[in-house]
């Protein structure tokens, strides 16, 4: 595996299914697992480098994996990247690391994985922190969103993808404040994206879990930017009404990456939630 500029290497877990998952393991205390989204060049540290240290300072052990198909983790091209496959790899990673129970923090695809994991393994989950999670709409409805349409245009265009076009895509699709998208972030994700294979996006399948939300047991904190361009805002009320033990934070001047755009607020509220419920 080539080194990705800007992304430090951590540890590796050899899974029972034969794949290898890369992760960072920092701090001591109750475990908190950070699950990143599916954007091009995504990885655990890229999504959460400004967040997991605050959770560690709050008295927790942070596990920050690269999902299967991303970052330094294995990228098989002969599998279907279903939600069940992501959950299987996460469960086997936690088994290998020796974590029996954890809180899960997930945005976008990572939020859908967190929800499905909590449904499949309720005794293994303490709390959920979700940021505009997937899994609460039909897949076709996501592709009606302007950010998703822009993503399709950018990544299927015959025009070669450049770092400049990737940067503009991140600005237009994910954030309100363009200064959040630094050249360093783009260079890092550009390098990581070149190592991905198209099978991840091509075969990704995320079911609509809305009807199963009442089955979730533990406390849930959801963040949702009111300038969201990737996820339909109908998900706000589906989560607010569907989850029995939930609270919702709606943020103006905020897009898809709340943990970057409102980092201090996100960290403060997440740590308080993890400590106090």
pLDDT digits (tens, 9 = 90+) for 118-131: 999 999 999 999 99
Say if 96 falls within a structural domain.
yes
| Any domain includes 27 | yes
pLDDT of residue 1: 58
Per-residue confidence (pLDDT) for residue 256, from 0 to 100: 97
Enclosing domain of residue 71: 11-276
Number of domains in the chain: 1
Task: Report DSSP letters for 143-203, one per residue.
Answer: TTSHHHHHHHHHHH-SSPP-HHHHHHHHHHHH-S-GGGS-HHHHHHHHHHHTT--THHHHH
pLDDT in tens, 35-65: 999 988 999 999 999 999 999 999 999 999 9
Q: What is the pLDDT of residues 68-91, one digit of tens each?
A: 999 999 999 999 999 999 999 999
Nearest CA among 23, 28, 26 for reference residue 60: 28
Strand partners for 24: 64
Token pair of 176 as six digits: 């309100």
pLDDT in tens, 196-229: 888 998 899 999 999 999 999 999 999 999 999 9
Whether 5 maps to a domain, the answer reads no
Residue 119 placed within a domain: yes
pLDDT the model gives residue 210: 98
Is 19 within the bounds of a domain?
yes
Q: What is the CATH number of the domain that holds 225?
A: 3.40.50.1820
Catalytic residue ranges: 256
* Cα distance between residue 256 and residue 225, in whole Å: 6
% residues pLDDT > 70 (the chain): 100
| Domain contains 205 | yes
Indicate whether 56 belongs to any domain: yes
pTM confidence score? 0.96
The pLDDT, as a whole number, for residue 154 is: 77
4 found inside a domain: no
* pLDDT digits 0-9 by tens, 26-40: 999 999 999 999 988
| Sequence-separated (6 or more) residues with CB below 8 Å from residue 66 | 21, 22, 23, 36, 43, 44, 72, 73
């Amino acid at each position: 595996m080539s080194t990705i500029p800007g992304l430090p290497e951590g540890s590796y877990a050899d899974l029972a299914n034969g794949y290898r998952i890369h992760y960072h393991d920092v701090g001591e205390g109750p475990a908190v697992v950070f699950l990143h989204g599916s954007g091009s060049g995504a990885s655990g540290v890229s999504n959460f480098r400004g967040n997991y240290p605050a959770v560690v300072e709050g008295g927790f052990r942070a596990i920050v994996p690269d999902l299967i198909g991303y970052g330094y983790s294995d990228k098989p091209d002969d599998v279907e990247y279903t939600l069940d496959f992501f959950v299987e790899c996460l469960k086997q990673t936690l088994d290998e690391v020796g974590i029996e129970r954890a809180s899960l923090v997930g945005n976008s695809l990572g939020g859908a994985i967190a929800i499905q994991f909590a449904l499949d393994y309720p005794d293994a989950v303490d709390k959920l922190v979700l940021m505009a999670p997937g899994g609460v709409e039909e897949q076709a409805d996501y592709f009606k969103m302007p950010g998703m349409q822009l993503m399709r245009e950018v990544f299927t265009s015959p025009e070669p993808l450049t770092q400049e076009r990737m940067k503009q895509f991140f600005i237009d699709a994910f954030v309100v404040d363009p200064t959040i998208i630094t050249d360093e972030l783009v260079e890092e994700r550009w390098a990581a994206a070149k190592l991905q294979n198209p099978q991840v996006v091509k075969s990704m399948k995320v079911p609509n879990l809305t009807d199963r939300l009442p089955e979730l047991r533990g406390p849930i904190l959801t963040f949702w930017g009111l300038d969201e361009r990737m996820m339909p805002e109908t998900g706000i009320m589906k989560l607010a009404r569907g989850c029995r033990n939930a609270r919702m934070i709606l943020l103006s001047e905020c897009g898809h990456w709340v943990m970057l755009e409102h980092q201090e607020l996100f960290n403060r509220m997440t740590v308080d939630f993890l400590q106090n419920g």
